[in-house]
Every structure is written in C-alpha cells, then in structure tokens.
Structure 1
C-alpha cells in the first residue's frame, strides 16, 4: 500500500487519506500515528472501498509517522465496528475508539513504577497522612491512582514518598497471566446439565455461528453448564469472553471460575487501574488471555482467537449503554459471534421477550434446565395485599412478613428484603410550608441518604448536606422524609428485630469488587441475618441459609412511563425470589402489593411464567412493540430551553410521512432537565420491515441546528426518561 485511508477519532472530520512512506508496511487494521495539523493522532487503517471519502491528489498527501506495535485489528472486528455504527446510528470513529480503550497498551512492551507502603511512618503524622496510610494498606498503584484511592492530593503522597513511607516498585506491564487448566476440578453434572453442555460443546468444536438461549430456573446450574463449554474452548487453545452485567457480580464469579480452572480469568471493567487495563488489552490482542470476564465494553476488545461468547444474566437492562454509543451488548454479542463464526450463549432464568421470540422463530436454539441442581426446590410464593394486611402506622413491612422474619431469625436462617430504591426516602419536604428539595440540574427530587448525611440526585450526582432549616420558610428542624428507601427499611428492621444483624446492599454500599467480596464472605459466614437491598441483590448470589425473601413494594416498577415495565418487574422479582431456598432448606417468598390481581403479580404468585410471557407477547404484538415492531428515540437537548424547544419543533416539522413508521412528538422528556440540559423527545414506532436507521439518517442529515443543540439517537431504547 502506498496510500492509506484512516479512521481517526474525530467524527466531525471523517476518514482521511495519508501516504505510506517507503519501507513502512501497513495493512487494513493497522494502528498508526499520523499528522493532523501540528498534532499527532492515532488512527486505524481501513479498506478504502468500504469507507467513502473525498479523493485527495497523491501529491497533497501527508506521510504516516509510525505504525504502533500492536497486532492489526482483524477483519471480523472491523466488520463488527461497521455494523454497530450503522445499526445504532453512531459515528464509526466513536465505535472504533472503544476498541483502543487503553492508550498505554499501544506503545509496546514497557515497565512502570508503582508505589506501596513500606511499613515506616513519616516524621510528622498529620491526620491527612494517617488517613492516607490507613486507606492504602495492601494497595499498589501509581501515585495518581493511589491519590484517588486515599482521597488525598498527589502532593500528600509525594511527601510520603520523600520520607520513605511509600516505596517504588518496578512493574513489568506485560507479565503473563497464569494458565487456566480445563481439567483442574471437573464437576459432576446431572443428566439435564450434561445433555445441554454437550450441545454447546459440539458447537464450539464445529467452529460455526450458533446462538443459544440457555433458559434455566434460578439455581439450575447454568454457570456449570457453560463453564464446561469454556473448558473445551480452553482445550482447543481458543479464547472465551464471558459478559456480566454488574461489576459487583464479578468477584463471586471469579471465585467459582478459580475453583473450576485453578486460576482467575482476566478481568475487564471500568474500575481497573491503567496498568491492569494495559496488561489485559495486550494479552487479549496477543491471544494469551484465555478467558476474559468483563462488563459490556469487553465486547469490543481485539481478541486474536475467539472461540466462545457467553452473556450471563442476558436479560439485564444494564447491558444497554445509555450514553455515548447507545448499544445493547446482548445483541452486539450475537453479531460478534456471527462475524467470528463461533457459538454465543445467552444465559438467563428470565429471558428477554425478544430472546424468547428469536428462539420461537428458530433463530436461537433454546436449551432448557427445568429443575434446581442437587434436589433443591423452588421457593413457595405468596402475596400480601397491603390494602387488607396493612403495616403498622409509620411502618412499611406487613405483620405477616415481620412474623416470618422473626421465625427465620429464631432458626438462625437469613432473610432478604428487596426494594429497588436507594437511600432513606425518595422525597424530602418541609412540614411547615411544603417545600420540596429538587435537583438544580435535573427534573428530579433529591433523595435523602442518612448513612452518608446527604441529599443526592440519582441522575446527575449532585449532592448537598441536609440544611438545618427550610431554605424556603426558614423553619428549623422541619424536614420530613416521604416514602421508603432501603435505608429506611433497614432502620425499621433494626427497630422490630434489634438483635438482627442487618446489611444494606446497594451501589452506594457495594462500591467496588472488594466490598462485594466482603459482603459475600460475611453472609456465607452467618454474620448477617437480614439483607436489605436493591436490584444489586437480585442475581448471581448463592446463600444456602437464605430462606425468606420479602418484596417490599412490588408495584414500584410498574409506575412511570417505561414501556417494558411489566417485563422488567417480572424479571426483577423472579430473580430476587430465586435467591431463596437454594440450599437444602426450603424457601419462601412474600410479595407486598396493592394490586395482587395485576397480571405480572398474579403470574409470579402462581409461578406461571409462560402465562405472563404469553400475555405480554400478545400485548406487544397488538401495539407493534418489540419484538414485533421497532422503536427508536431522538432526544434533542440544549442548555437553553428555548433553543432545545425550537430545534425539536424544527425537526418535528420536517418529519417524513411513511406508512410503516409512526413518529410521535416532540414532547418534553419525562426528565425534561437532565444534567443541566433541557430535553425534548421524538419516538418512532415502526414495523419490522421499515429501515428505521435509513429513515432517521435521511431525516436528520439536512438539519442545521444551533451550535448548543445536541441530537442523540437511541435505537431500541430501554430508558424512556
């Protein structure tokens, strides 16, 4: 090649052509350094015929500067980048940037200096230094990363370095990972598990695209089944990717993986230090990382020899990214498997309706595990009608649920209370004048968090301490908490059962994989009697002594404008119910509701999943909603409300009129102000036959909007706020 077309990470510029200097070898997928004005930028060489650009005469081309020492991105990954950009109406550059997500990995082999505590003390032990030393016990990282862990400035830590309290350690950035052994600890599967695992293993050996829906009840051993396919992939010398929806689930999975294969897998998620990201990225690109376990971004890493993809808890909403490139990792995983010609396993006890429909139509092969492993029985489920069995005044737990918790405590068993609402109370107001505390950046109430003594917005992160007096009328000590959050339920449990040891489990308390490990260890050791948690506790955890699950407010998820509310509520409650009775002792689930006859609640109580899914399928088909129709959202935003409204109206006025696409709006979004930006939405509802992406691109391409206006496209949206 004497001419190279590059994808550069500036969507406004598009692809650019460069001259390849004599003696430099580049090919499609090569990662190169090129000049752009006075700067040097990183780009990816692409096939010119697949990436139209304005032709520039040979004489005007600037030469490439360097080829970076990393393997070229394989054609299968380039096709995935193109498909993702096209399907989700995202710039190709934005998707490609996710592949090169570790800048440090692109510069070749290296060592670097990290720091750790030496065991000594400084001459002058200030409170700040003492807090830093306590926080850094057992940590090793760069000064910047240690400063973040300790919550102090880099200057404080450099002072500790100068006094020998922190000592330097030279680290090989690319040291190899220990090898996993397929035969380290082979489990004994039951006949159903054996049968299902053989089907997946055959597909791994065939090296062909094969999408599976692994549909098994909670506790049926889905993980053990797909780990046997991972073992066969290891034996074949190929790589496996396992996607998990929550970082908090990672540590429990790592322990199970290490028990099976003798060493942990390679981990990829946002909490990794820069050195860990670099090491993982290079091992993955070199084919040395045998099994990668990660969050959705792990899907775009440059695997050299991928042989299997597993999406665990595949129904989870957190697989859909809600900013940047708004992709659904579950669906992109299937497409990556297709481009790589390998099997993909979507594992879930409560599959998404779209996945079930794909199995019904024969696109996915459905593999069913109907029974719990080892003879454990599914829990009994009953409802508590809150209109008849009312909690005591000022409380939120009905007498029957309280009585069952007392019984479990007396027997030394554990209970779990589920309420998908963080904090102490969702709304705080003044009892004197009625003033409500609202976020200054969002159309949302501030949520009281008593454990951390703050009022917080769960949308933008704005925080403020609770004031001593009402800011509106000046009345002191007049603030009233309205409604329950998990912290309030935990307080109620402490009042009712003062001897119970209570743990609050939310994203506020489980802020790292290490804290998740600590929580699991305490629960397994019997140091916790009652767990009060949000959706974080609905999946992945296995506690044999947990025999009672109480759903505090089953109706909560059915409120608001979420078009998938019934399905999501069913999935959450069914998953949290699945935490009960996973050992030898039988489990019980009590669902508190004001609408016991609602379809979703009645189906849960009856244990009739098929009836719920059938009714939901019929309703979706009638409404032309996914999977029988297509949705897409266009969100128009600006820091100026009038500017946002005018832009949304202009886009709405130029809408296309098509038989197979209905366009609703514009209208203010339910969260009309989010992170300081005013927002308007248009919603497209289209038939499956409609080319929604082409419609949107042709509609929006001619628009000339004010510089402060941002237009975001969300294909297959999950969030409607």
Structure 2
C-alpha cells in the first residue's frame, strides 16, 4: 500500500461497536469504490475498514479536522449484497453496524501476505492394520483436506508423534500450500443416486427455482429418513452448473456433520469448504479468501457463514431449520434461519429450509403461501417409520436409584439377542444434575451463576454448564461439614450408561455427549464405530439427533420424555416434540423395522400423544391456536431487554427506570422488569423486560425511542434480543 495526499471525503465503517460510519479523506487519484478494504488511523492505531459511502451527506465537521486514509488493500471489494445485509441486520437487531461488519471480517490474517507452509494429507486408503491412535486419525479425516501436524493433533485428539510416525511410515504425505490456494471444484459430472418419484419431483422443483435465478423461500419438509439431503443436493448441482456460482449450506453444528460430508463427497467428488469457529487462523484465512475470490464454490458452515463475502451466491440451504442453535445469543443477537432468508433476498437467490420437524414460524409462512412447501411423506428405500409407544412410569416405576423401566429393559435385552443396536436418549449431560447433602439438605451451586453444579463422575468434578466453573467433588459438605454425605440426585447420561453397564455387561457401550466427545475426530470415530456395528447400545444427548444414519439401530428409548415440558418457555412443547421426533427418527432407517419407547409420567400430554399417534398436524394446530390467542410469535412480535452488571443495586435501579419509562402505546405491552430465570450468570446480576407487540407494530422504532430516553450508567450492560428463542 502507498500513502497519497487526500482530497475527497468518504465514509468508512470500522469493525467496531461504534454507532456508525466515520468520515475520512482519500486521494483523488486513488481508485476507490464502495466495499473496498482500506487502512485508516483511529487514535494511535491503524485499523482495517470498509468504504461504506463514496458520497457522504453534508457534515458540520470541516475537512481540515479529518484524518487521511493510509491506502487500499489489494482485495476484491465487499459485495454490495453483503453490505446491504450488514445494514439490514444492524437495523433489525438494533446493533451497531460495525459490530455486524466484524462478523464479516473476522479473519485477522485476511490482510496479511500469505506464507507458504507444509501440511499433510492421508497418502493411502484406510489400511486394515492400524494402531488405535492412527485409527483415530483416519476416522477424523475430512476428505483429503491437508492439515498441519498441530491441526491433525487437535482434530484427531492424538499426540504429534502419532502424526510424524504416519508421515515416516508413508501413510501421510507432505504438501506445500498457501493461504490463498484455490479449493478444488465440485464435480458435476458424477452420476447421481437414484431418487424416488417423490424425491425426483421435489428435486426438479428446486432445480427450476435455481434456474430462475430469483429469490424464493421454500420449506422442504419430510419425515426422518425421507432423503431430504439428496433432494436439495439436486438444487446444489443445478447451481454449480453456472460458472463461478456459489452455494451456502448452513448446518446446526458443523462438528456433527461427518456423515453429511461423506455424502457430499460421494455426490460431488470433493469436500465442500468448511466454516466454523474452531478453524485455525490459517484455515479461516484460506476459506475467507476462497469465498471473496469466488473459488470456494460450496461452503458448509455454522450460522456465522452467512456473513462470508460471497461474490456470486446462487443458493442457500438451511438444514435442520428448526434447530435452536441457529440463534446467536451473544454480541449481535440474531437467528441464522431468519437471516438466511434475508441474505437470500439481498442476493436475489432461492433459499431452502429443510427439516423433518419444521418450526411453527416456518410452517405458518408455508401455509400462508409466503414460502413454497414441498413434503416428502415416505422414507427412502425399504425403510418404514418406526412404531412408537409410551411407557407410563406411574405403572412401571423403576427401583430407587434406577432409571430404566422394566418394559424398556426387556426391549433392550431382546434387541441385544437379535444382534441389533439400541439408543437411549437423555438430554442431560454428566452423571447427575444436582448434588446435595443428605444431612443438611445443602445444594451445591455455582459461585458465579444461579445454577446447580452438575456432577461428572468420570472426572470426579462438579461443573457449571453455563460458565464452565468446576471444582473437585468434596468429601465434606461445604455447609455442615458432614463427611461422605453428598449424594447425586437425578440422572445424566453417565448415570444411565452406568446402569446399562450393570444390566448388560456383555453389551458394547458408547456414550455420545459433548462432554465425552471433545474433538470432531472423536465424534467421527464414534459414528464410524456405530456404523461398523462395533457398538450395541448408545447412550446420548441431543447430539445424536443430528441426522445420523445407523442402519442397524432399531430401538430408541427416551429415558425422560417429560424433560423440557415444564417452565415458562412458550416453545417448550414444540421444542420437546421436535427433539423427540428427531431422536425417534434414528430407529429403523434401513430394512429392519424400528421401535421407539417414551418413558413418561404424562402419557396424556399433547406432545406424547402426538408422537405416539402420529398426529403431528393436530398438535401443531393446537400450538398455533394457543400462540395466536395470546398474540405470541409468529402472530405477534417479541423482544427481550436484558440488563446485567456486577452491582446488583445498579442493575435494579436501571431496570426500574426502564420500567417507569416503558411505552404506553396501542398494541404494545411491556412485561417486567423481573429477575431473569438465571438471575446470576458469569458473575453478573441479570434483569429482563419483555416487549410484546401486535404484528403490524414496528417494534424496532418502539425500542429505539424507549431506550434512548434512559441513560444507562453504573457499569450496567443493556442488550436487546429481537425474536428471543430462550428466556434464561
């Protein structure tokens, strides 16, 4: 870059939580356009920013007081559609535009000259004779993506010596790569798998939408195992037929997509470009460069991939669109599914929302005709939907300290005898959710959060799942000092696994929970072992619901079907139905029929009744009617105002000020202030107010006018969550 004498005023947006753009001066003879990356001074720092306007409005600040830009980076400009998207997201979420821009340029090395480095890829197909450690490396491999020794170590969860040994043995080969090296293009000439008539019809519909090259939102709904992925692969294929076109596929959790990546490679010959928070700086730089230069043709990523600088975006797919993990609840609060629809609109391309259990918001849009709606009602191939039954725990209570009823135990035994696999599902990590003293009743709580510490028996720790605080389990009660008086209350997956080991000592057991599987390689290795039928019984949390296909898995037992049905969350019933329907869908996905057993104390609950009867439509209609009567989303609007701070009195003072100044407008209701359900989180006290409006009200304007009337002080942080998903 070269520094030239400035002579004209431009506006720069910096990736900082500032209120807006800043004016700078740029040289007349420097070719600039909106979207260009430039380096500018701010105080004593040199920062990277983006030219946001070449024609700024009149200002009272004279040119003499403005600073000069240092120069322009040799990078393609930020695409216009992404600039519009950033402005839209900022206005919708009431966030500073710079904070949104930061998500689009979250690659510190993007502006540095790339350096050549040595990486390693697998040199041969999976050998039969491998040590356990080297087997982990093969199971962790994402296609033939080259990685550094350190990256392989972290990805596979092995020592660096294992990788170096594989290089020496010829099982890995070295390659020289640079940060801007192109990605291999997907192969559109490969023969596609055969589709059912139903799948082919849906696939051709989506191909036609891609050909039209216009915005259209579509819901692709289908029962679990119906082959939705192969259907939207048809749309991906059509998009790739166009030169330089790009496709974005969003997934709820990128670490859990090993089988999806394998299916993509089978279909297109190459792995897609991967984007998520766990990439190394070098990987992030290469992916970001690939996207902005246009050679990253297909990107699969977490919600943050929405902010990548696609040059020619022709299709967006949101897989498992119902997943709550699409909601970001830190920094800029946004919902990845909803923002994907906006992103597609700004890019003027189709967006496909795929799910076996669509969110009520998406279903309402489909029923109203706002979205296209295609439904796959049959499982692909010979597979049929599993039989579902409720086990009334009032009639079949387990013995004290045990969690599996007799009918479920008998089903597990029969499945073992048939040589088939079983899954026990409990969406609760650890050994037990609560540890208390049987002498004085003291419950061990996190010192930084209003939450109990969860026991993890394998590590001997008590841990907070909100802030990460942990302590070794004490021998004495912290309150009354009684020795060996602390007891575990309630089950977590570790405790259920312990019971399974005791009941079926001959069974090969695997636990699938984020505490047990710490790396993507471990997840991939466990999934591969299950597919190879090296596991008889799986005990897992919600990570087992993420679209896995286990051909020999024929029995699913839900240990606590009532978990999640209580509390004040308006989506509790819908979310529980989605989780249980998804986990039930793991059973009987091949030739062998499947069975699902729900342990419940409320077999008459609408969620359980909908699952067992298969009457999903009636359940969702009741949910929609209840929300409509209360004016709740999607029939009304919601926003949460969250106050937090280290000083409890300061938080309460600001909360009361906001409550007194709350708008009194037709169609607007403000609830609170009240302590948040998690009133103390990560060392900060929390209060919430909930704003509820009718559908036609501009809730952002209401919030701006209200919040601007109050001065926030005393170290209190105010955050706004438009369309809240959780209410913790």
TM-score range, shorter chain: over 0.9
In structure 2, how many angstroms separate the alpha carbons of the residues matched to 1:61 and 1:465?
57
1:476 maps to 2:483: yes
For residue 66 of structure 1, report the CA deviation from its aligned partner.
1.8
Tell me what 1:334 maps to: 341
Tell me what 1:208 maps to: 214
Tell me what 1:347 maps to: 354
* Structure 2 alignment gaps of length 5 or more: 1-6, 122-132, 161-172
Between stretches 20-29 and 607-616, larger displacement belongs to: 20-29
Of 547, 559, 564, the residue aligned with 1:552 is: 559
Q: Deviations over 1:497-528 (max 9, x none)?
A: 11111111111122222112101110011111
CA contact (8 A) 2:650 2:714 kept: no
Tell me what 2:226 maps to: 220
When residues 411 and 54 of structure 1 are mapped into structure 2, their CA distance, relative to the original with a 3 A threshold, is farther
The 5-angstrom pairing of residues 671-690 of structure 1 reads 671-690=678-697
Between stretches 346-355 and 12-21, larger displacement belongs to: 12-21
When residues 67 and 676 of structure 1 are mapped into structure 2, their CA distance, relative to the original with a 3 A threshold, is same
Tell me what 1:92 maps to: 97
Q: Deviations over 1:370-406 (max 9, x none)?
A: 1000031100100001111111232111100110000
Tell me what 2:409 maps to: 402
Tell me what 2:640 maps to: 633
For residue 678 of structure 1, report the CA deviation from its aligned partner.
0.1
Of 111, 135, 141, the residue aligned with 2:116 is: 111
Tell me what 1:159 maps to: none
For residue 261 of structure 1, report the CA deviation from its aligned partner.
0.8
Of 66, 71, 75, the residue aligned with 1:66 is: 71
1:43 maps to 2:43: no
CA contact (8 A) 2:424 2:538 kept: yes
Tell me what 1:119 maps to: none
1:514 maps to 2:521: yes
Of 56, 80, 86, the residue aligned with 1:81 is: 86
Equivalent residue of 1:104, what SS?
helix
Tell me what 2:541 maps to: 534
CA contact (8 A) 1:15 1:53 kept: no
Tell me what 1:6 maps to: 12
When residues 477 and 574 of structure 1 are mapped into structure 2, their CA distance, relative to the original with a 3 A threshold, is same
Tell me what 1:193 maps to: 199
Of 265, 275, 286, the residue aligned with 1:268 is: 275
In structure 2, how many angstroms separate the alpha carbons of the residues matched to 1:476 and 1:145?
45
CA contact (8 A) 1:221 1:372 kept: yes
In structure 2, how many angstroms separate the alpha carbons of the residues matched to 1:76 and 1:440?
46
Equivalent residue of 1:374, what SS?
coil
For residue 179 of structure 1, report the CA deviation from its aligned partner.
1.9
When residues 114 and 546 of structure 1 are mapped into structure 2, their CA distance, relative to the original with a 3 A threshold, is closer
In structure 2, how many angstroms separate the alpha carbons of the residues matched to 1:43 and 1:212?
36
Equivalent residue of 1:215, what SS?
strand
Tell me what 2:129 maps to: none
In structure 2, how many angstroms separate the alpha carbons of the residues matched to 1:221 and 1:259?
15
CA contact (8 A) 1:69 1:108 kept: no
Equivalent residue of 2:626, what SS?
helix
For residue 14 of structure 1, report the CA deviation from its aligned partner.
3.1
Equivalent residue of 2:11, what SS?
strand
When residues 53 and 615 of structure 1 are mapped into structure 2, their CA distance, relative to the original with a 3 A threshold, is farther
For residue 59 of structure 1, report the CA deviation from its aligned partner.
2.5
In structure 1, how many angstroms separate the alpha carbons of the residues matched to 2:678 and 2:29?
56
When residues 36 and 571 of structure 1 are mapped into structure 2, their CA distance, relative to the original with a 3 A threshold, is same
CA contact (8 A) 2:136 2:525 kept: no
How many residue pairs match? The answer is 695
For residue 107 of structure 1, report the CA deviation from its aligned partner.
2.7
In structure 1, how many angstroms separate the alpha carbons of the residues matched to 2:28 and 2:700?
42
When residues 202 and 134 of structure 1 are mapped into structure 2, their CA distance, relative to the original with a 3 A threshold, is closer
For residue 152 of structure 1, report the CA deviation from its aligned partner.
13
Tell me what 2:436 maps to: 429
CA contact (8 A) 1:16 1:53 kept: no
CA contact (8 A) 1:284 1:301 kept: yes
Q: Deviations over 1:458-503 (max 9, x none)?
A: 1111111111222222222221000001110000111111111111
CA contact (8 A) 2:246 2:297 kept: yes
1:665 maps to 2:677: no
Equivalent residue of 1:257, what SS?
helix
In structure 2, how many angstroms separate the alpha carbons of the residues matched to 1:243 and 1:603?
29
Tell me what 1:120 maps to: none
1:709 maps to 2:723: no
In structure 2, how many angstroms separate the alpha carbons of the residues matched to 1:242 and 1:675?
33
For residue 9 of structure 1, report the CA deviation from its aligned partner.
2.5
* Structure 1 alignment gaps of length 5 or more: 117-131, 155-166
TM-score in terms of structure 2 length: 0.91
In structure 1, how many angstroms separate the alpha carbons of the residues matched to 2:251 and 2:533?
27
Q: Deviations over 1:263-297 (max 9, x none)?
A: 11100011111111100100111110111000000
Q: Deviations over 1:617-663 (max 9, x none)?
A: 11010111111011110001110111111111111111110111110
Tell me what 2:188 maps to: 182
RMSD, aligned CA: 2.6
1:20 maps to 2:16: no
CA contact (8 A) 1:69 1:107 kept: no
When residues 187 and 149 of structure 1 are mapped into structure 2, their CA distance, relative to the original with a 3 A threshold, is closer
Tell me what 1:56 maps to: 61
Of 229, 246, 250, the residue aligned with 2:253 is: 246
Equivalent residue of 2:570, what SS?
coil
Q: Deviations over 1:426-483 (max 9, x none)?
A: 0001122212110000000000011222111011111111112222222222210000
In structure 1, how many angstroms separate the alpha carbons of the residues matched to 2:356 and 2:362?
12
In structure 2, how many angstroms separate the alpha carbons of the residues matched to 1:13 and 1:614?
43
